[in-house]
A and B are shown apart, each in its own frame.
Chain A
Amino acid sequence: MNTHVPHPTGRESFLVVGKDVPRTDAVPKVTGAAQYVADLVMPGMLHAAVLRSPHPNARIVAIDVSAAAKMPGVKAVVTGADTAQRKWGAFRPDLYPLAIGRVRYVGDEVAAVAATDPAIARAAVDRIAVEYEVLPAVLSLDAALAPGAPLVHDDTPGNIAHHFAFERGDVDAGFKASGVVVEGTWESARQWHTALETIGCVAQWSGERVTMWCNTQTPFLARGRYATALGVPEAQVRVIQTEVGGGFGGKSGDDNASVICALLAKKSGRPVKLIHTREEEFLASHPRMPMRYWVRLGFARDGRIKAKEIKMWADNGAYTGKSQAILGAASVRHDALYRYPCARGDSTLVYTNLVPTGAFRGFGNPSADWAVEQAWDLAAGKLGIDVVDLLRMNAVGPGDRSPHNHKITSCELGQCIDKAAELVGWRAKRRARAPDRETLTPNPSPERRGEHRASPDVPSGLVMHHEPAREFNEPAREINEPARGLGMGCSVHVNGRRSFGDWDGSAAIVTINEDGRATVITGEGEIGQGNLTVLRQIAAEELGLAYDDVDITRPDTDLQPHSLGALASRLTYVAGNAVKRAAAEAARQLLNAASEQMKRPPEELTVINGQVGPRNGSETEFRAVGAIVRANIYKPGGQPIIGVGNFDNPSDFPDHNRYGNESGAYNFIAQAAEVEVDRSTGQVTLLEIASAVDCGTVIHPAAAEGQVQGGVTQGIGLAMIEYFDWYNGSPTDPQLKDYPIPGAALMPKMHVAFADSYEPSGPFGAKGLGEIGLDAVPAVIANAVADAVGVRITQLPITAEKIHRALHPELYAGEQVPPPVAPKGSVWTRLAAGRPSGARPANPEMLFPGTVEEAVAQFAAEDAAIVCGGTAHALRRERSGYPFAKRLVAIGRIPELNELSIDAGGALSMGAAVNQERLYAEPRIRSGWHAIDDALEAVGHTRIRRMITVGGSIGPLIGGFDLPIALLALATRVTVAGPQGRRTLTLEDAFEKRFAKDEIVVSVAVEKLAPRTGSSFLKYMARAVLEIPTVNTAARVTLDEKGRCRSARAVVGAVSWKPIVLDLAELAGKALDENLVRGAVQNVRSLASPMSDVRGSAAYKREMAAEFAARALLRAWQRAKEQ
């Protein structure tokens, strides 16, 4: 056994710990061999589909499943009547596995089907008839808290699911002693985990016992809850963890999916697989809980914190899950970050008829940080102290205790603050700037109740208040010049927490085997964070074995000791300690065995690289570990080497009001970011973000860095791009298109550093770090935005539109906001038609015509559709559920449609089946028609361009598509073929007069551009990845010999039914300048008739239409000049 003596500065010399050993799961994951729950197949396995409530609040009058049950292939249908009718839930049992008499949110589970084929199961769901009595619903905190509001649960008056309050220390005296006080109200947002693998289960009963293969983070906790929900003893439930395709809190056993799967398996007597669709994941998983968070901070004039007070309300959704605990974390955890002498709080968990919320990486901290870290930034401004210095001055350190008795052990927060600031060049960038600015605060929620307001005299609408001069603000700039700003924030997190009873421990068994290898037996599991790798490293280090010689088990509740699993950033610290102790015990037994066999006292022996021998002994004196184990077994009374290790977090079980030391150790982070804000659009570009983390000893640097980078990225998503449009209590389009997550192109320069730190109670000095990378990111970005342009965003997300409105309030002065209307398409189309499942009854015929004329003839028949790239058909099918047609005419292989040529006169001709990737690869298009190339580039990826054809882009005549907008700026003619023959028309005419229903696009021809002509295409997407942009524009400018404008055209799409085409005759003959160009497109605002949606309000889209029309023209003009 290695004996580790902590280095005075915390450094030790390790053989395995601190090394980037190959991840345990790497090879199976890169080869596709890893088995996720959706990959499991059992003989006779059925597929499940779930019927969900279309109403946010309704009484179930009657359910008739008879038609569904009779369908061939359907083997079981279950409703609430088939369940034990027992409520379940982690802390506050309030959820039935399937609705009993009442539904409480859009997505609430009502019934489910198991059938031999997924398509049959979905079709059967549509045959279940449910009669609802729709009830008034509470769809916001304010509605739920209003006097006399409808109750989400009849037994919960006032919709208050949970409430607690505390006062620790003399808060009034603290504020009295404060020279500077800041306060404000912030609102955080729902965020979906969006693991790329959805929640799923395969369940199989054997007699009275069910085995559930689940992608759960917490197999043992899930088993307990599932047993409750099923109404059977825990002994009848076995949970096996499959590979988990991302958890982030969303797979911690609070959803009904696995329970319903087990119910169906019981009733059908066959194994059943239930996998959430992406839509179900958005409707019915448990996203992050949004909070309204009022905070007041008091400071001495020198910057020392004197007092803190919070009051907050959290939107629980319809059922509680873990939200009660999240409320607690959001209320008190932050007080372990700075040296608050006192704190007062009042926290309320509120039921609403919205999707239930739950655990998500950060567990309440991001909402607290969103408010409090911005309040600290406000305070820095008011105090006239650089926020870095202010945070540094107040940061907790080793030995500190929070007002709630958080006992700070190791803590390098100060080091983290310095490092984060250094990584973004904070001091140098600050020195380059000068003082004085006003701050604009967009009032976050006009509907907010007066008592929640930051200050009661704040009127609704935009509020301007002056923040005191900061010594480091920028000099005044041109109004439309991009502005840069810096932001800083910190966070603290636990390493495990006593949440489910007075134990936050872990137990592990380590065996050293006769083959010389060791096995770590633990039920803690792996969700992608690298836990199995880290636990193997800890065991190998402790045992003196090579990492490759240590194996580890996957969770199976039948096989391992009780384990809490992946939650509360606990595994490295809590499970790591248990494994280390088990390994130490196994090593002790090994050395005792060796001592007996080698006739030396055990303290003289050690294990090095799989060999046991005397310390400082010669090579020949060493014996293989396996040989020693074997000799220890094969003797009378012999036994294998089995070490058992237990560790319980040295923490308190906090009381009802959250007093108590939550964890034996705490991890810390400081983050700094620089943003650039485009004042003309409000768009924020995150240039760089630095994270400096104190997680003690870093066990696996690559995995640790990955945890931070991944957390930061989810924080960026939460801050800026992850949000939906809502209608009647549900996202209008619950798909990944309307809810983008950050892609690689959005990534800023990302720095990660680890503090030199050592936690005496951690394994080899380590602490956890799974969640902390995310927590402060939204606040850090908001602080940087405030620094850049003086706009303080108080309501997540930070959108370009909010910033634009705050910067240019005059543009929105006369805005008329229309009432919300029912959205078209997606889930609504299906619900309105009584076909919620998206099942497709038709099995179309696929036709392969050899010529255009043959295709036209086939297309002319009833119920036919063209397929080529494949996207339109597949997309429509996925999103609306309807079959496109009974015959699909596949035109992709007709030779004529695949022609792509540029003739002697320089004209471009593109066949309808040519895909955009082929165009993109053609250098002559790139050089000849910039607008086309820009549009192809704007598509983003080869993968998408490869699926989009010329005909598919033009045929539907949709102005939000890129290619037609670009082509409208050029001289473009379209040839179509129909039963009457062929005809050629300009693209403008096509948009005016449309194609006949039975015509198909054959080719598109674009003339060579005149000399001294530039063209361009620009797409503005507020969130970077959408199919339909906020606005897309194209332009063409031709100059005369003297460089004056001969002709100019601008095209604007996505803001009106038809594209807006402007031939700007007033520019002809003029020498262009920016003002002239901008002036020429001002009427775009009035010509546009945009819809308000997730991409922006109508008013904002009008502004952006004019802005980007001008930008496209300026770009085209520039290109014309360059010729």
Chain B
Amino acid sequence: MLIRFTLNGDPVEVALKAADRLLIDVLREDLRMTGTKHGCGIGSCGTCTVILDGEPIASCLQLAALVDGCEIRTIEGLADAGRLHAVQQAFVNKAALQCGICTPGHVLAACALLDKHPHPTDEEIRTSADSVYCRCTGYQRILDAYREAARLLGAATR
């Protein structure tokens, strides 16, 4: 089965090995985009979060066949010609990471929130950050990074 979708702005075409192949396996194995990380396989941890048509999803639960025609953003699609996306820069500025395995998921969850809500409330930030587990940081610096990202994005558009 052949699917076509837009990945980080570029058209891609993938012949699925099996019709029920999951998006995470298409990204990591077929397209060798290993920035999307596998965590639990049951949608609990959010490590594998990618953005599908503007909304964060668990790529470990998403049947790849169903993303035909959709737009997908992964962690590899954020930085532009070596310049970090504001959300990535915010995670660097706030040292909002440790082992880094959940970082792509957190960065993308934050991007999805800030795209819709450029001035999120603390409650919105907490809810979004709650959608991705982090075993290292205790989340405090991740919440700081969300606020920093909103500030950087606000400054950029002003």
Could you list which residues of chain A lie within 8 angstroms of chain B, going by C-beta atoms? 20, 22-23, 25-36, 38-39, 41, 193-197, 243-248, 277-278, 527-530, 700, 702-703, 705-706, 709-714, 735-737, 740-747, 750, 843-846, 867, 870-871, 873-875, 877-879, 883-884, 888, 890, 892, 917, 940-944, 946-947, 1025
A41 to B1, CA, bound (A): 25
Whether A874 and B22, one on each chain, are in contact in the complex, defined by CB atoms closer than 8 angstroms, is: yes
A-chain residues with CB within 8 Å of residue B56 when the two chains form the complex = 941-943, 946
CA distance A744 to B105 in the complex (A): 14
The answer to whether A940 and B141 have CB atoms under 8 Å apart is: no
Is there an interface contact between A943 and B42, defined as CB atoms closer than 8 Å?
no
Q: Give Cα distance in the complex from A193 to B66, angstroms.
A: 34
Can you sample 13 A-B contacts with CB below 8 Å? A26-B91, A31-B35, A196-B37, A246-B99, A246-B135, A530-B98, A710-B136, A744-B134, A747-B139, A873-B63, A888-B65, A942-B113, A944-B43
Is there an interface contact between A31 and B44, defined as CB atoms closer than 8 Å? no
Q: Chain A's nearest CB lies how many Å from the CB of B30? A: 12
Question: What separation, in Å, do the CA atoms of A36 and B78 have in the docked complex?
Answer: 20
Let me know if B61 and A23 touch, CB within 8 A. Answer: no
User: B65 near A890 (CB under 8 angstroms)?
Assistant: yes
Using known A-B contacts A30-B103, A890-B66, determine if residue A41 contacts B39 with beta carbons closer than 8 Å.
Answer: no
Task: Determine which of B76, B97, B109, B138 lies in contact with A29 in the assembled complex, contact meaning CB atoms within 8 Å.
Answer: B97
- Count the B residues whose beta carbon is within 8 Å of the partner chain — how many? 74
Known: A196-B102, A713-B138, A844-B19. 7 other contacts (CB 8 A): A702-B95, A709-B139, A710-B136, A744-B134, A878-B42, A888-B20, A940-B127
Chain B interface helix/strand/loop/mixed: loop
**Given A735-B40, A744-B142, does the pair A942, B98 have CB atoms closer than 8 Å?**
no
B41:A702 contact, CB within 8 angstroms: no
Residues from chain A with a CB closer than 8 A to the CB of B61 are: 870-871, 874-875, 947
Which 4 residue pairs across A and B have the least CB separation, nearest first? Answer: A32-B35, A528-B99, A29-B100, A245-B101
B88, B97, B100, B129 — most chain A CB neighbours (10 Å): B100
Complex Cα spacing A41 to B34, Å: 10
- Chain B residues contacting A874 (CB-CB under 8 Å) are 22, 43, 60-63
* Residues in chain B near residue A870, CB distance under 8 A: 61-63, 66
- Of the candidates A244, A745, A747, A877, which one forms a contact with B138 in the assembled complex, judged by CB atoms under 8 Å apart? A747
User: A702 touching B94 by the CB < 8 A rule?
Assistant: yes
Contact status of A941 and B101, CB under 8 A, knowing A32-B76, A874-B60, A946-B57? no
Q: Are the C-beta atoms of B79 and A877 separated by less than 8 Å?
A: no
Q: In the complex, which of the residues A35, A709, A874 has the most CB atoms of chain B within 10 Å of its own CB atom? A: A874
B66:A706 contact, CB within 8 angstroms: no
Residues of B with C-beta under 8 A to A946: 52, 55-57
Contacts of A23 in B (CB 8 A): 92, 95, 97
Q: How far is the CA of A890 from the CA of B62 in the complex (A)?
A: 12
Measured CA separation A30–B63 after assembly (Å):
26
A529's nearest neighbour on chain B, judged by CB, is B98
B84 contacts A by Cβ under 8 Å: yes
Q: Are A943 and B46 in contact (CB under 8 A)?
A: yes
Chain A residues with CB under 8 Å of B39's CB are 196-197, 278, 736
Cβ contacts under 8 Å, B97 to chain A: 23, 25-26, 29-30, 528
Greatest chain A CB density within 10 A among B62, B98, B102, B112 is at B98
A277 to B60, CA, bound (A): 13
- The one of A20, A27, A32, A741 in contact with B95, judged by C-beta atoms closer than 8 angstroms, is A20
Given that A528-B99, A871-B61 are contacting pairs, would A888 and B35 also be in contact in the complex, using a CB cutoff of 8 Å? no
B88 CB, nearest partner CB in chain A, Å = 4
CA A392 – CA B111 in complex, angstroms?
47
What is the bound-complex CA distance between A879 and B49, given in angstroms?
A: 20
Cα distance A231–B116 in the bound complex, in angstroms: 58
A44 to B45 alpha-carbon distance, docked (Å) = 31
Q: Is A245 a contact of B100 with CB atoms below 8 Å? A: yes
A32 touches B141 (CB 8 A): no
State whether B42 touches A867 (Cβ < 8 A). Answer: no
**Which residue of B is nearest A39, CB measured?**
B34
Residues on B with beta carbons closer than 8 Å to the beta carbon of A741: 133, 135
The residue on B at minimum CB distance from A36 is: B101
User: Residues of A contacting B49 with CB < 8 Å?
Assistant: 943
Q: Is the CB of B40 within 8 A of A736?
A: yes
Question: How far is the CB of B40 from the nearest CB of chain A, in Å?
Answer: 4
The closest CB in chain B to the CB of A195 belongs to B135
Tell me which residues across on chain B come within 8 A of A197, comparing CB atoms: 37, 39, 99, 101
Identify A278's interface contact among B41, B57, B128, CB under 8 A.
Answer: B41
B121 located at the interface, meaning its Cβ lies under 8 Å from any Cβ of chain A in the complex: no
Q: Is the CB of B63 within 8 A of A34?
A: no
Listed residue (A30, A32, A709) with the most chain B CB atoms within 10 angstroms of its CB: A30
Min CB gap B33→A, angstroms: 8
What 1/0 flags go to B66-79 for Cβ under 8 Å of A?
A: 10000000111011
**Chain A residue contacts of B37, Cβ below 8 A:** 36, 38, 196-197, 245
Given contacts A22-B92, A743-B133, contact A278 B103 (CB under 8 A): no
In the bound complex, what is the Cα–Cα distance between A890 and B58 (angstroms)?
18
What's the least CB distance linking B131 to chain A, in Å?
4
Chain A residue at minimum C-beta to C-beta distance from B98: A528
Check if A745 sits within 8 Å of B136, measured CB to CB.
Answer: no
When A706-B95, A710-B136 are in contact, do A196 and B104 touch as well, CB less than 8 Å?
Answer: no
Q: How long is the Cα–Cα vector from A953 to B60 in the complex, in angstroms?
A: 20
* A917 proximity list for chain B (CB < 8 A): 55
CB distance from A942 to the nearest CB of B (A): 6
**A30 and B88 form a contact (CB under 8 A):** yes
B63 and A736 contacting across the interface, CB-CB below 8 Å = no
Taking the closest CB of chain A, its distance from the CB of B64, in whole angstroms, is 10
By a CB distance below 8 angstroms, the chain B residues around A877 are 20
> Cβ of B140 and Cβ of A750 under 8 Å apart?
yes
Given the interface pairs A26-B97, A736-B44, the reply to whether A706 lies near B137 with Cβ below 8 Å is yes
- Shortest CB distance A500–B (Å): 24
Q: Are A747 and B140 neighbours in the complex by a CB distance under 8 Å?
A: yes
Please, which residue of chain B has its CB at the minimum distance from the CB of A845? B19
- In the complex, A942 Cα to B115 Cα: how many Å? 13
CB distance from B93 to the nearest CB of A (A): 8
| Residues of chain B within 8 A of A195, CB atoms compared | 99, 101, 135
Contact of A846 among B65, B78, B100 (CB under 8 A): B65
Cα–Cα distance between A32 and B37 once the two chains are bound (Å): 9
Pair B99/A744 contact, Cβ less than 8 Å: no
- B147 close to A (CB within 8 Å): no
User: A944 vs B61: C-alpha distance in the bound complex, in angstroms?
Assistant: 10
- Name the residue among B18, B37, B49, B101 with the largest chain A CB count within 10 angstroms: B101
From A28, A247, A746, A873, contact of B20 by CB (8 A): A873
Expressed in whole angstroms, the minimum distance between the Cβ of B106 and any Cβ of chain A is: 9
B138-A196 in contact (CB<8A): no
CB distance from B143 to the nearest CB of A (A): 7
Residue B107 lies at the interface, judged by CB distance under 8 Å to chain A: yes
Chain B contacts for A528, CB-based, 8 A: 97-100, 136
Q: Judge whether B107 and A30 touch: CB under 8 Å.
A: yes
